[in-house]
């Protein structure tokens, strides 16, 4: 499976570097790429995909959250999927799949992570900002692939996939001081799938 991740930095290199220290920005990008690849593989299997990943601040996220979700204030992550999916036993399948796929990688959509909110949540949880951003990227990528947590059963499926990806990341990247857990373990967590 070939997964491409395109990064968009709307907060600035210096701001990002200060937020994720002691992890440097290049290392963060590699970790994020690994997280998105593992997430796509866990939910899709062997399919060539592309994901756009944007790091924004509170002001941009507040605007996006209002424009697309009708909610006031920032949120930690928004997902803007380009396809409709159906979930079967935890795996994503195109809802309108007729067995014909275009050549090359399929663009799944855009995941937007709010760096300011990630900093607050990391501080509240007692873990690193880089780890929080990575977890938000995993969660947002699952939303791109049709996963949601509106119903308890769907939340459980999403939680299992998150945990599976985090376990794989722990194994591959021993040097990162990962904390156990899931976004679902956190009180007051709000994640939205954009329209």
Q: What is the mean pLDDT of residues 84-95?
A: 88
Confidence of residue 78 (pLDDT cuts 50, 70, 90): very high
Q: What phi and psi values does residue 153 have, to the nearest 5 degrees?
A: -65, -40
User: Partners of 94 in the beta sheet?
Assistant: 85
Q: Is the pLDDT assigned to residue 190 strictly greater than 50?
A: no
Mean pLDDT of all residues in the chain?
Answer: 87
pTM of this prediction? 0.89
Sign of the four-CA dihedral 145, 41, 151, 170: negative
| Sign of the four-CA dihedral 174, 5, 29, 71 | negative
pLDDT tens-digit readout, 90-147: 889 888 765 556 677 889 999 999 999 999 999 988 888 999 999 999 999 999 999 9
Distance CA 180, CA 87 (A): 26
> What strands, in cross-sheet order, belong to the sheet with 192-193?
3-9, 49-56, 106-114, 77-81, 192-193
Q: Which CATH class is domain 3-193?
A: alpha beta
Residues in the chain: 195
The full 3-state SS of 77-146, as one line of letters, equals: EEEEECCCEEEECCEEEECCCCCCCCCCCEEEEEEEEEHHHHHHHHHHHCCCHHHHHHHHHHHHHHHHCC
How far apart are the C-alpha atoms of 37 and 53, rounded to whole Å? 12
């Amino acid at each position: 499976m070939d997964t491409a991740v395109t990064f968009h930095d709307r907060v600035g290199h210096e701001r990002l570097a200060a937020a994720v220290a002691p992890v440097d920005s290049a290392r963060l990008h590699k970790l994020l790429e690994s997280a998105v690849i593992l997430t796509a593989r866990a939910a899709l299997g062997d399919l060539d995909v592309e994901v756009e990943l944007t790091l924004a601040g509170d002001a941009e996220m507040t605007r996006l959250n209002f424009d697309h979700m009708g909610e006031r204030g920032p949120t930690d992550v928004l997902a803007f999927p380009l396809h409709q999916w159906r979930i079967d036993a935890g795996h994503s399948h195109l809802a309108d799949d007729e067995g014909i796929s275009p050549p090359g990688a399929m663009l799944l959509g855009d995941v937007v992570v709010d760096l300011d909110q990630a900093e607050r949540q990391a501080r509240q949880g007692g873990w690193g900002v880089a780890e929080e951003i990575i977890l938000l990227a995993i969660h947002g990528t699952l939303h791109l692939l049709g996963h949601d947590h509106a119903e308890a059963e769907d939340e459980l499926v999403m939680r299992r996939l998150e945990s599976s990806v985090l376990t794989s990341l722990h194994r591959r990247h021993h040097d990162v001081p990962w904390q156990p857990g899931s976004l679902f373990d956190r009180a007051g967590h709000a994640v939205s799938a954009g329209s």
